[in-house]
Amino acid sequence: MSYYDIDDILADSTKVPCKFNCSVPGLGYLEGNAGHPIKKDSKAELPLWLARILAIIGAETVENEEEELPFVELMVPDLFSSRVLNAIKSSPTSLDVHSLSAHFYELAIKWATLFSDRRLVNVLNTMMIERAQEVNNHALSIPADSAPALQSGTFLLTLDEFEKRIFRDSHTSYKDMKSWMLRK
């Protein structure tokens, strides 16, 4: 999650639905019609890098401290709706994470940090462990000598970027180990 992390930057550009808590003139371009003010209670899809900050800093601060509303209110995106969470709970390995989002884990981490969402973290923990076992199985199966195509089936198509990296790393390490054992 460093500043220069390409995957992190891409994950940050995911759009999340937001509701504006105050009307702001001049920000119409966020909604798609430039030149118009953005109305209170209107909904817009904002990229996470923008929404994350706007959801934290407040419109009113010192004068009336009891209602410190942030500029926008984040709404739960489809990605973390209870429908998806139920699907994860029922069978993590058969879930197509890639079609949900290419950066599912990174987004989930950001989301859970933003809301201190303990439930989400629990679900993700079990999901991660279950899927890691499957990833390990696939990484372990090395096709007979120097077959380039990975015919590990459709499971690999459902990995998100983070899991892909784990898969790639563990696969190469298994492969290197094997070739070292055989040739030397």
Partner 1 sequence: MYGDLVNKLVLEAKRAQQLNESSKSEHLPMYQDDLVRNTLREIEQLKRDAELLKSQQELNQVEDKVARCQHFVTLLCMERNKRGLLAYQKLRSDTLDAMAWNKHGLDSVTALAAGEGADASLSHQEEEYLKDYTQIIADMKSGEFTDIDLSGSLTPPSDVFIDVRVLKDAGEIQTEYGVFNLIKDSQFFARQADVERLIQQGFLQRL
**Alpha carbon distance 25, 35 (integer Å):** 8
DSSP structure string for 111-173: HHHHHT-HHHHHHHHHHHHHHHHHHHHHHH-PPSTT--S---GGGGGG--HHHHHHHHHHHHH
**CB of 13: closest distance to partner 1 in angstroms?**
5
**CB of 69: closest distance to partner 1 in angstroms?**
10
User: Which of 127/162 has CB closer to partner 1?
Assistant: 162
User: Which of 27/87 has CB closer to partner 1?
Assistant: 27
**CB of 105: closest distance to partner 1 in angstroms?**
16
3-state secondary structure of 100: helix
User: Which of 103/131 has CB closer to partner 1?
Assistant: 103
Binding site for partner 1 (CB under 8 A): 3-7, 9-10, 12-13, 22, 24-27, 29-30, 47, 49-50, 53-54, 57, 59-60, 71, 168, 184
